[in-house]
Amino acid sequence: MLKACLNGGRGRDEHPAVPLTPAELAADAARCAALGVAAVHVHPRGEGGVESLRPEVIAEALVAVRAARPGLPVGVSTGAWIEPDPAARVAAVRAWTHLPDFASVNAHEEGAEAVAAALHERGVMVEAGLWTVEAVEAYRRWRVPAGRILVECMAEEPTVALADAARVLAALAPTAAEAPGTAAGSATPPVLLHAEGPATWQVLAEAVRRGLHTRIGLEDTLRMPDGSPAPDNAALVVAARAAGAH
């Protein structure tokens, strides 16, 4: 699966084509879906373009994207930078009036399991974000099932990011019979491997080589594979598909 990550925490100062409003997110999501992505990940914005988990902000973005591309799975982030207080993150999830298809939860963040539990209780698929081997250990202590694992490489140096990915994937391997909510001998949740910044394209190629899900978009990189500026999310999707990501 190839997912499009449309905006992340970026603003117009970083790239003029970053979609911020519900209408912009919807238009970009529809374009990327037409090019073959199987899902989109968005960071809805409230007043002043600030990321928000407030029910009305989440609802506006989801309604717009689903109207533009019915049936396209849409996910959001629950990162602690959006709302630092774990209890407030849980309360926000419980107050959502429109539910995303999936939401990412970074396992290393304080209160991550409680946020994941709130999502699971509401029927939202949990994506467990694992940045480090230590995060894998934290995830293994969860009593909440994840529907997908995000192996997220944050190192800027490609060789370091690839080494980090190998370590996290190796740490995940023994969890086949231990993943939360799975029976002994069953498979771990599907893995999506990606990076941010200069390592994005090398890690995407590694995901393709390993047969893993991956993602691309202006959240992760502002550059095309050759290092030139990316015109928009659609151009990044076209390049990712040309690199074998489907």
Closest CA to 77 of 138, 163, 10, 141: 10
Q: Which domains does the chain have, with CATH numbers?
A: 2-242 (3.20.20.70)
Cβ contacts of 212 within 8 Å, gap of 6 or more: 151, 190, 191, 192, 193
Strand residues in 9-140 grouped as ranges (E): 39-42, 74-77, 102-106, 125-130
Tokens 């409680």 belong to which residue? Answer: 114
Question: pTM for the full model?
Answer: 0.93
Amino acid in position 170: A
Cβ contacts of 121 within 8 Å, gap of 6 or more: none
Closest CA to 18 of 203, 10, 26: 10
pLDDT band at 173 (very low <50, low <70, confident <90, very high): confident
Give the per-residue pLDDT at 58: 98
pLDDT tens, 113-139? 999 999 999 999 999 999 999 999 999
- End-to-end CA distance of the chain: give it in Å, rounded: 5
Rounded to whole angstroms, the Cα distance separating 45 from 114 reads 23
- Mean pLDDT, rounded, for 28-56: 97
pLDDT band at 40 (very low <50, low <70, confident <90, very high): very high
Collapsed DSSP state (helix, strand, coil) of residue 61: helix
Handedness of CA 54, 120, 148, 237 (dihedral sign): negative
pLDDT of 183 strictly over 70: no
